[in-house]
Chains A and B, each alone.
Chain A
């Protein structure tokens, strides 16, 4: 496995990835990835779409370095010099926060540990608490928040230190439309402001279209790319536009093809 740096102009490059979990429950060797390749440009927001069980989360963990492929290379940008430059945000937001810390402490803690100086830290905390509408909840504990509030907290914590690559694993799965729209807008603002590269892993076409600049549809066993589409619309998305409708249809048919 090669973990060397990418050439300039690429945030992350997967080449010829093979990955399997040791043995599946039926006793067969489940080869999930075989010669899989994907390139992520810096500053882009890429939605990785696929049906449940298609190996999307595994891909996210390989990108983040949480899982190591058996074969192939994962090349990361030479700009990624610290472990904190790449962050994987779990689909269960409680896993991304410290439940024994209040909302404010959760946002502040990473910045303290990464030695942000006082004024810069305070400014960042203030910005995030406002952006994710957490101000009124500053002294609440995560367990006492609603699903949407908890997701906002998890994202503000994981994005607090301006990681260069953020992998978001199904961040909207348990949220209603209004909360999704709020979080999508906040994420988009952050991605632009911090020039963060984002990878959104989702099974939901609307979620992919709401945030993604590019949508990669995958199908499994072994995982392969069914379609790779650039999204031309601006932000926020106009879901009544013909472009949006065409993209929606293209993604749906991509997923259908993958299931065949």
Chain B
């Protein structure tokens, strides 16, 4: 009940949007080929899920999570090291920002040449901008680490690895989560886009959207797009929950409760 109260405005907005769509399609103000009725989308959904979409959702989610895992496993330790050894970061800062300026999608042909047409190239393409954004955020967090706490680490004779895992990681964690949140969006967008255009094994959520659209199954097209949106919301919710748990020690962590 509380959840409904907290989200009443957003729910009201979606209800109004749905009502508007229903009214527009009922009055045939827009061609149903362009905008099908919400009910036809709802009716198409169970069949669509049975037909292929459940498997496609799993595949797309797997690719997104694999890309995020690669980005996190490389980006976080590298970011902690570069944030701690600021001079090393200064050497690579320029090239790193230059790389970030190149749209990841523009590099896809290069990834195809390097990794071939396959899962590796899809995951690598989504992992690439995710890694950069997680790396840069981690560097920022680690380089802003509290100097007094680092002084304590020296007093306690911590090894560089212990400084990284016991101090810098936590100091950088709020920034790391900012990076992960952006990386989730990048990964989902890129995986869905690549699935649309290379259609590896004709599978994946992006490929479903493309195939439904190209066969004029417009209610299914809308249904699949909505599912893609819901995956984005789900991933963001998961990041928020993980962030709330892992940053429960922050000063304002309980203020909203």
Residues of A within 8 A of B (CB): 66, 82-84, 87-88, 90, 92, 95-96, 98-101, 109-110, 113-114, 141-144
Of B17-25, B60-68, B104-112, B245-253, the stretch lying at the interface with chain A is B245-253
Contacts of B253 in A (CB 8 A): 143
Interface of chain B residues 148 through 199 with chain A (CB within 8 A): 148-149, 151-152, 154-158, 162, 166-167, 170, 173
B40 contacts the other chain (CB 8 A): no
Number of A-B contacts (CB under 8 A): 46
B146 contacts the other chain (CB 8 A): yes
B87 contacts the other chain (CB 8 A): no
A-B contacts, 5 of them at CB < 8 A, read A84-B156, A87-B155, A92-B148, A96-B152, A143-B251
Inter-chain CA distance A259–B27, complex, in Å, is: 86
Contacts of A101 in B (CB 8 A): 249
Are B148 and A99 within 8 A (Cβ)?
A: no
Are A113 and B162 within 8 A (Cβ)?
A: yes
Are B249 and A142 within 8 A (Cβ)?
A: yes
Contacts of B249 in A (CB 8 A): 99-101, 141-143
Please give the number of chain B residues whose Cβ is less than 8 angstroms from any Cβ of chain A in the complex. Answer: 21
Question: What's the nearest-Cβ distance from chain B to residue A62, in Å?
Answer: 14
B9 contacts the other chain (CB 8 A): no
Question: What are the 6 tightest A-B residue pairs by CB atom distance, in nearest-first order?
Answer: A95-B148, A143-B251, A141-B249, A100-B170, A113-B156, A100-B249
Inter-chain CA distance A46–B254, complex, in Å, is: 41
**Given A99-B170, A100-B249, A113-B157; 6 other pairs, CB 8 A cutoff:** A92-B148, A96-B148, A98-B167, A98-B170, A142-B249, A143-B250
Contacts of B157 in A (CB 8 A): 82-84, 113-114
Contacts of B148 in A (CB 8 A): 90, 92, 95-96
Are A95 and B149 within 8 A (Cβ)?
A: yes
Inter-chain CA distance A66–B151, complex, in Å, is: 8
Which of B151, B162, B167, B251 neighbours the largest number of chain A CB atoms within 10 Å of its CB?
B151
Contacts of B254 in A (CB 8 A): 144
* Contacts A142-B249, A143-B250, A143-B253; A98 near B149 (Cβ below 8 A): yes
Which of A82, A87, A98, A109 neighbours the largest number of chain B CB atoms within 10 Å of its CB?
A98
Residue on A with the closest CB to B169? A100
Partner of B156, one of A88, A95, A96, A114: A114
Inter-chain CA distance A141–B251, complex, in Å, is: 9
Inter-chain CA distance A137–B12, complex, in Å, is: 43
Inter-chain CA distance A100–B155, complex, in Å, is: 19
Are B156 and A110 within 8 A (Cβ)?
A: yes
Inter-chain CA distance A109–B170, complex, in Å, is: 15
Contacts of A113 in B (CB 8 A): 156-158, 162
Inter-chain CA distance A66–B155, complex, in Å, is: 11
Are A99 and B250 within 8 A (Cβ)?
A: yes
Interface of chain B residues 55 through 96 with chain A (CB within 8 A): none
Contacts of A142 in B (CB 8 A): 249
* Contacts A141-B248, A144-B254; A84 near B149 (Cβ below 8 A): no
Inter-chain CA distance A221–B72, complex, in Å, is: 52
Residue on B with the closest CB to A64? B151
Question: What's the nearest-Cβ distance from chain B to residue A77, in Å?
Answer: 17
Inter-chain CA distance A84–B152, complex, in Å, is: 9
Question: What's the nearest-Cβ distance from chain A to residue B177, in Å?
Answer: 13
Question: What's the nearest-Cβ distance from chain A to residue B243, in Å?
Answer: 13
Are A84 and B167 within 8 A (Cβ)?
A: no
Are A84 and B170 within 8 A (Cβ)?
A: no
Partner of B155, one of A83, A95, A143, A144: A83
Partner of A84, one of B155, B173, B248: B155
Inter-chain CA distance A24–B199, complex, in Å, is: 64
Contacts of A144 in B (CB 8 A): 254
Inter-chain CA distance A85–B46, complex, in Å, is: 69
Question: What's the nearest-Cβ distance from chain A to residue B38, in Å?
Answer: 46
Contacts of B155 in A (CB 8 A): 83-84, 87
